[in-house]
């Protein structure tokens, strides 16, 4: 099984996901309640390109949205630089 990983979908992780996880790593609040909540609403003219990434405490989500020709990372109020391609 040198490179085989079986039928497990976690191996096919888009490149951007680890970076989104890093962004979210600093967002956890130690005393935050672990509860169900709506985190965001995707804008009507935006397309989400990769699976949404979540902080471990469930308080933040990050995703890459495409609007027109630009792609950018969005997490709460933080909106990243626009790029032609994010992968």
d(CA 73, CA 87): 11
Nearest alpha carbon to residue 40 among 56, 68, 63, 11 = 63
Tokens of 24: 């979210």
Sites for other proteins among residues 6-65 (CB under 8 A): 6-10, 13, 15, 17-19, 21-23, 25-26, 34-42, 44, 48, 51-54, 56, 58-59, 61, 63
Q: What residues line the site for other proteins (CB under 8 A)?
A: 1-10, 13, 15, 17-19, 21-23, 25-26, 34-42, 44, 48, 51-54, 56, 58-59, 61, 63, 80-81
């Amino acid at each position: 099984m040198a490179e085989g990983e079986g039928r497990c979908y976690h191996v096919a992780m888009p490149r951007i996901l680890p970076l989104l996880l890093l962004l979210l790593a600093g967002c956890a609040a130690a005393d935050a309640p672990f509860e169900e909540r709506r985190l965001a609403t995707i804008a009507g003219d935006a397309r989400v390109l990769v699976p949404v990434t979540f902080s471990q405490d469930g308080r933040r989500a990050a995703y890459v949205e495409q609007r027109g020709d630009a792609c950018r990372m969005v997490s709460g109020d933080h909106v990243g630089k626009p790029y032609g391609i994010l992968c």
